[in-house]
Amino acid sequence: MVRVVARTLAEATRRVLGSRRRTGRGPAAAEPAQAGDAALAADLEAAIGADRVRSDAAARYLASRDASIYREGNAGPVCYPDSTADVVACVQVAARHGRAVSPRGAGTGLAGGAAPLGRPVVLSMTRMDKLLEIDVDNGVAWVQPGIVNLDLTRALAPHGVHYAPDPSSQAACTIGGNVANNSGGPHCLAYGVTSAHVLAVEVVLSDGSVVTLGDLSAEPVGYDLRGAFVGSEGMCGIATAVAVRLTPDPPAVRTMLLCFDDVSDAAATVSAIIADGIVPAAIEMMDQRCVRAVEDFAQAGYPEDAAAVLLVEVDGPAGGVSIASERIAGIARRYQAMSVRTAADEDERARLWKGRKSAFGAVANVMPDYYLHDTVVPRTRLVEVLESIYEIVDRYDLIVLNVFHAGDGNLHPILAYDSRVPGADERVHAAGREIITMSLDMGGALTGEHGIGVEKREHMSRMFSEVDLDQQARLRASFDPYCRMNPGKVLPSAHSCSDIAALRASDASGVWG
């Protein structure tokens, strides 16, 4: 039944688009992709206001991309909703036109998750950036999805609480994007990833209905639909309000920089710290190339002669913090640390973190493009994995900057290259595939926190069986039977048949520029 409806809608759209494209004229004729959108854009404008819909080439071009190197996205009209009601209206208009909807936060994603496929209506959530309600006593705040992660934490600061997940892009990325990707961050080692900090989500489903998944009680009853929604990469619906857990600020924090002249010593130190029973708030590792790329910008005093550095943070009651940091210093020295430095004040601590969190952005100091995976490997095999990465990269004559959440084995080998050099793209992708295969062979997982998006879609079958993937497709279909929400992501093409129909329904060619 559903499929019949979808097919009918698809056929109708194709006809409408086809006829309109032929009769296009004026500026629209020069930009074929725009022509078929005129009626759709007009309806969207009528629904939420002309000043909040953009269907010009420049706006659509920019809404077609995120921070990854994926460039095949193709946005339809771009809407800037202000409220849940606006989102509902946009979803309904899109449905009437048989078009899909792709939500977008700050576009800092690294896997093409926000790249719109099949010219959907793009909902840019940046204007829904309000902190709706703070309940410090119960440790919860309702926020709109477009609020920037760091802005939320800053707004909470006077209350002595913060929002714990802190992706490296936290200065720019939005909570909505964090929910979509179940994002992590350095401090997720001790505090857990986004799903542990989202209590409930208000969601607009593909038929325009609004539901609240999860609730604020300590022991929610029924299936954990909130859990299914967090990390669904926009394919189950659009979050329009999020209840986030507030984490009390720790009474004491100590941030240490451990420097090593051998990468394996650094990796071994990580395992030894955890084996010692200490759970630091964060353990981050950067190799030499990465340190050199960030130090110019951050001026944090990272030693550029160290082969690897560990940034370790411990927090909690002052007594515990000081004992733990002494033990960590002892372990580091046992593994031949060149130096052990403790941040003297908040300013030094901030600069150390600034360096770590600007690693991706600093790559252009080395090369103008980068390709990134974020596989997770067992911590005990870090040394082996790193050696393999360096070996693979050497073989493909590439440059790698390693920066990662060492505490939970979440790698981020940044393959830096210049896409203007012929053949570079192919080499980078081939090396990426080998890194994934190697990580999975070592007992790892495909992605830690960046999501699957389109970038890693085809690698899903290396990790999941056909049965697994079919079940995932069915879960998705139970939220969005029409496959209209951010279609074409996560599931390999063979497992999202109705997505394919949705994508084919609209013209994928004729992008401006």
Partner 1 sequence: MDLGLNDDELVACVSCGLCLPHCPTFVVTGRDTESPRGRIALMRAVQNEGAPVTDDLIRSMETCVQCRGCETACPSAVPFGHLMEGTRAALAAEGRITPRWQRLALKGLRHRWLLMAGSTLLALAIRLRLVPTRRLGLPARMALRRPRLRTSGTDVWLFTGCVMDAWQRDVHLAVQRVLEAAGAGVEPTGGAAPCCGALHIHAGLESETKAMARQVMAGLSGDGRPILVDAAGCGAALKDYGHLLGTDEARAFSARVYDVHEWLAGRLGELQSQHPVDPLDVTVAVQDPCHLRHVQRAHQAVPEVLQPFVASVVALDDDGLCCGAGGAYSVMEADLSRAIRERKTAAVARSGASVVASANPGCSLHLAAAGLDVRHPLELVDQALSASRV
Binding residues (CB under 8 A) for partner 1: these are 27, 30, 54, 56-59, 61-63, 65-67, 80, 106-108, 124, 126-127, 129, 146, 148, 150-151, 169, 171-173, 293-294, 296-298, 358-365, 368-370, 418, 420, 512-513
Nearer to partner 1 among residue 85 and residue 440 (C-beta): 85
Closest approach, Cβ 265 to partner 1, in A, equals 27
Q: What is the DSSP string of 313-355?
A: EEEESHHHHHHHHHHHHHHHHHTTEEEEEE--SHHHHHHHHHH
Q: Which residues contact 4 (CB under 8 A, 6 or more apart)?
A: none
Counting DSSP H helices and E strands in the chain, the numbers are 19, 18
Q: Write down the least CB distance from residue 74 to partner 1, Å.
A: 14
Structure tokens at 37: 């959108």
CB of 354 to partner 1, least distance (A): 9
Give me the least distance between CB of 296 and partner 1, in Å please: 7
What minimum distance in Å lies between the beta carbon of 242 and partner 1? 17
Closest by CA to 500, choosing from 69, 7, 5, 4, is 7
Which residue bears the tokens 């946009």? 90
Contacts for 79 with CB less than 8 Å, ≥ 6 apart: 44, 48, 52, 53, 86, 90, 121, 122, 123, 124
Q: How far is the CB of 325 from partner 1 (least distance, A)?
A: 28
Our CB check for partner 1 shows the closer of 57 and 252 to be: 57
Nearer CB in complex with partner 1: 365/380: 365
Closest approach of partner 1 to the CB of residue 420, in Å? 7
Q: Which CB atom, from 185 or from 280, has the smaller least distance to partner 1?
A: 185
Please identify, using beta-carbon distances, which residue of 63 and 377 lies nearer to partner 1: 63
Minimal CA–CA distance to 241: which of 78, 125, 116, 135?
125
Signed CA dihedral, 196, 199, 202, 203: sign only: positive
How far from 503 is each of 117, 262, 489, 506, CA to CA, in Å? 7, 49, 11, 6
Whose Cβ is closer to partner 1: residue 70's or residue 482's? Answer: 70
Whose CA is closest to 190, among 324, 4, 314?
314
> What is the C-alpha end-to-end distance of the chain, expressed in Å?
40
Q: Which is nearer to partner 1, 156 or 386 (CB)?
A: 156
- Confirm if 384 and 167 have CB atoms less than 8 A apart: no
